[in-house]
Chain A
Amino acid sequence: MAKVKGYVEVNTQRCKGCGVCVVSCPSDVLELQPREVNDRGYHYVYMKNPDDCIGCANCGYVCPDSCLTIYRKKITQ
């Protein structure tokens, strides 16, 4: 069975931690850093559950600061 695997690359310096991508994710993959901040003081987003990512790119579409790059690969088992 073919399975889809995704990966979200975050430009942590560009991210402003608005959290719009976190809400848009259907698989609950993303979360804002609870403690870490970038150079501008924002709690940037990271992949909390990277294994659940399906690469749908919903997060990328809604990101106002274009800081997410999304990859998707079909994995055949």
Chain B
Amino acid sequence: MNTSNIVSPENLVYAKPELMNDMYMHYCPGCSHGTVHKLIAEVIKELGLEDKTIGIAPVGCAVFAYKYIDIDWQEAAHGRAPAVATAVKRLNPDKMVFTYQGDGDLAAIGTAETIHAANRGENIAIIFINNGIYGMTGGQMAPTTLNKMLTSTSPTGRDVQTMGNPLKIVDLMALLDGVCYATRSSVHTAAAVRKTKKAIKLAFENAMAGKGTSIVEVVSTCSSGWKLSPTASNDWMVKNMFPVYPLGDLKNI
């Protein structure tokens, strides 16, 4: 079989989203950030919101998110993305505003901003990447780090007696009246990627419809911080992260 018969536009099944540019991503090999960036680019294109979307980039590994997706972006101070998004959305009610945050950004330094933006029911979408570690700064313990998980600042494993329990912030946010959609998903298999794409699409539609705050938690890997290969990280995530952070919708109204 000659491949030139197959390689033609009418047989195309899957390609890089048009909104993603050709710049090489700075993420480590196998990092879930790249997959979620791709889904965001696809969803924005499908909803036709290329000119109406404003993304709020966080501090963390995704600090350079604005370099890869060709939409309007604003960089926020560490943890303050929901506060910046509140202002952007209130001043531009016809725009679709979303934040893209990691667990150190959203669940540690930005807890107050996140909880109160959700409690006010701001019409924004929050994409939350939870890998249980501070990836960019060298794998320190985060609020979402699992019990007995090894990190560079808990070298003998997290001890819940002295260091507290893993923070399930999306479960907390699901209790708030301002939140219309809270879900937890993953991107380790093709089926999980499709589910996450649907969740992001619903979150963006809610933001445009003015239904309240939507949060999509993506349970992710950090192969550099976990000191595992990308594929071993995915297996570790399924075995250890999913029992603590079970996948599925927590709220959908």
Contact = CB atoms under 8 A, between A and B. Distances in A.
Interface residues of A, number: 38
Contacts of B33: 64
B17 A66 contact: yes
A65 B14 contact: no
A1 to B, nearest CB: 15
Contacts of B104: none
B190 A57 contact: yes
B6 A71 contact: yes
Chain A facing B: main interface SS: mixed
B189 A18 contact: no
A20 B233 CA distance: 10
Contacts, number: 104
Measured as residues with beta carbon below 8 angstroms from the partner, the interface class of chain B is 35 or more
Given A61-B194, A68-B14, A7 B3 contact: yes
Contacts of B190: 24, 56-58, 61-62
Interface in A51-77: 51, 55-58, 60-73, 75
A3 to B, nearest CB: 10
A16 B189 CA distance: 18
Contacts of A19: 30, 229-231
A16 B231 CA distance: 13
Nearest to A22: B231
A69 B6 contact: no
